[in-house]
Structure 1
């Protein structure tokens, strides 16, 4: 289904802005270089016009907080089917890139385009507040085709690859508009990018999701407060809070503190809510954490913050918890930077089974 985009100026008589041709997609590429959020605010740009081993050039390479590599290809003057085929071809090259290959790609990119961070390690930690050494680079990859429009046949192909072949390829449509000499861009995803991220193509073996949710609880957050009042949390950027929306009442979550270990399992009892607004039951009636005077113990908690950067929580009824000193950690357990995810690797089933054994959970 073709996507039509429009922008209206709000007034007593709404006016539709005049569409203008996106004459040169290199201009769009230049804008993305200045702000990757034009494509996705949860990505880090790591390469531009990256030469492959068979002498072709990938328009843009990006990375997310899990180390997943994103191949971004602009349609330019290629036919819709050609650009999809070429993007998949580039993915066949990306899948074999080593950590050092990707680090080298970023080094060349940073030097050529005078990026603020000289190395991939520096850029990654500055962007995601997590050391690159703590994640697995290029364990999965995604593909994105950027175009002003695609034909119906190509859209059917992309949908088939996603929903039938479980291949993570998406389309991002841009439209340009003009108003009294001012120029604007609008964008629309063909498929929800969060869904696409879940289908990221992993190198390892996949298996059906076992129905158990993984949760990463940042080591800079107050785990003892979370144990006491019953919640999991994330925030500071959309990347860290949006996945909390995946949870519904009755879901079971297993909580891992990165670099520490697994510390709890519980049942979700409510929906995601801003942490400064959620009311807990106390002996003095319903109160927020702020009303209980706990902001000093919870430095991420503050009111008046914009929704995108606010702290969010999901209430949980704990089945079993331990303090950080008794966290369970051993070789072979699953780990991930997403605040919440639905893992489909054999390692996740192994992790849940081990935790059930250790904590005697039925």
Structure 2
């Protein structure tokens, strides 16, 4: 049973504020849409009155920071058992939604393209880029003012006995001295349904397919060991200071297309890898049709890393990856935009389609 809330006005003699009937239940849908954080966590609403493949409509659909979907269904004038059955049916439908399906739902919701794109909206709400795989879990929430005992037993049985990610959220409506109030309680502890959601449905979904070509490369200037002007002039990117930093860069193959990103600055270049990564002391680059040792170049950065114990077995060398630049910009002209992919790895496969599309337009690529 949910916790019962008692509300008193105490600006004088305590006066209990009695629950009232909410004038229009549609108003509750609007309230949740305008502030989904009232559900207890940050959410991005991606759809309202979403039409399913079998013709019914889900009141609200949202996504959380991990890419999990949240189905929110108001009880309205249906019996509690009817709405529970309905939300379970919705769960069977959302479980099969792909990344493209979810983005399509959002595009319909943003009213003909007037709002920000999905990845921009995601970054605005959560302060990070969207995960590579969406719908890795889902949660089902029935919104109601009351539930009968039999339905509460049914929901508890499904959630605690079979890990079905379902819960009931109760809203009490109050009016006092011309003001309106809502009080929220959950039927089950949120941790109970969260555990079920993490193991239910699409938890093992595949990542967004990789196009087999594009790579993200982080070119960190803040370490005072590299300089973008060098990389742009001579055709390379580099990473080092430990195996964790150089290992991913060394995995980028010849022929791959890289998008260079300066942390805290933005994307500054796109190019084709024309040689395997080599330690800076051994690397050679092709400069004006001539093969030149990397260390003989007129460089602004040292491309070296000092260690307290160079014999500890760690590889602190800087590794250099030769690149034929297709397009570059100065760091002052770097592309920085909410929703673009960024990662702490020196290099990784770039699967984020919004980032690829945005960069292709920025660098005027086919």
2:209 is matched with which residue? none
Is 2:163 the counterpart of 1:166? Answer: yes
Runs of 4+ off more than 6 Å? 322-325, 327-331
| Residue number in structure 2 paired with 1:152 | 149
- 1:202 match: secondary structure: coil
Corresponding residue of 1:124: 122
Q: Cα 1:161–1:324, aligned 2, differ >3 Å: closer, same or farther?
A: farther
Q: Deviations over 1:164-193 (max 9, x none)?
A: 101110000001111111111111011222
Distance 2:63 2:316 in 1: 30
- 1:33 paired residue number: 33
Mapped partners of 1:101, 1:205: distance in 2: 17
User: SS where residue 83 of structure 1 aligns?
Assistant: helix
SS in structure 2 of the partner of residue 173 of structure 1: strand
1:141 pairs with 2:138: yes
Q: Is the 8 A contact 1:2 1:150 kept in 2?
A: no
| 1:1-362 pair list within 5 angstroms | 1=1, 3-11=3-11, 13-111=13-111, 117-132=115-130, 134-200=131-197, 201-204=200-203
1:61-94: CA deviation from partner (whole Å, max 9, x where unpaired): 0111110001100000111011000000001110
Does the 8 A contact of 2:142 with 2:168 survive in 1?
Answer: yes
Change over 3 Å in CA distance of 1:152–1:330 after alignment to 2: farther
Q: Secondary structure at the match of 2:111?
A: helix
User: TM-score, normalised on structure 1?
Assistant: 0.54
Distance in 1 (CA, whole Å) between partners of 2:179 and 2:316 is 54
Q: Give RMSD over aligned pairs.
A: 3.4
* Aligned residues of 2:159 and 2:165 also touching (Cα < 8 A): yes
Offset, 1:38: 2.5
Secondary structure of the structure 2 residue equivalent to 1:4 = coil
| Contact map agreement 1:106 1:120 (CA 8 A) in 2 | yes
- Cα separation, 2, equivalents of 1:39 and 1:65: 14
1:39 Cα deviation from its structure 2 partner? 2.4
CA-to-aligned-CA distance 1:232-269 (integer Å, 9 cap, x gap): xxxxxxxxxxxxxxxxxxxxxxxxx9xx99xxxxxxxx
- Asked if the contact 1:48–1:58 (Cα under 8 Å) also holds between the matched residues in 2, the reply is yes
Q: Residues 51 and 324 from structure 1, CA distance in 2 versus in 1: closer, same or farther, beyond 3 angstroms?
A: farther
Alpha-carbon spacing, 1:324–1:188, altered in 2? closer, same or farther (3 Å): farther
Measure, in 2, the Cα distance between the counterparts of 1:96 and 1:2: 32
Which residues of structure 2 form unaligned runs of 5+? 206-243, 249-313, 318-343, 349-366
Task: Give a deviation string over 1:191-236, Cα, whole Å, max 9, x none.
Answer: 2223322221232579xxxxxxxxxxxxxxxxxxxxxxxxxxxxxx
* Alignment check: 8 A CA contact 2:49 2:57 kept: yes
Closer/same/farther in 2, CA of residues 149 and 329 from structure 1, 3 Å limit: farther
* Paired positions, count: 219
Normalised by the size of structure 2, how large is the TM-score? 0.54
For structure 1, the residue ranges without an aligned partner over 5 or more in a row are 207-256, 262-321, 332-362
The aligned counterpart of 1:291 is none
Bigger Rg over Cα = 2
Take 1:324 and 1:191, find their aligned partners in 2: how far apart are those partners? 52
CA positional deviation for 1:323: 12
How far does the alpha carbon of each residue in 1:45-65 deviate from its partner, in whole angstroms, 9 at most, with x for none?
111000001100000001111
- Deviation, structure 1 residue 2: 5.7
Cα 1:126/1:156, change in 2 over 3 Å = same
Compared CA separation, residues 323 and 11, structure 1 to 2 (3 A): farther
Deviation at 1:324, TM superposition (A): 11
CA contact under 8 A between 2:46 and 2:109: conserved in structure 1? yes
8 Å contact kept, 1:80–1:154: yes
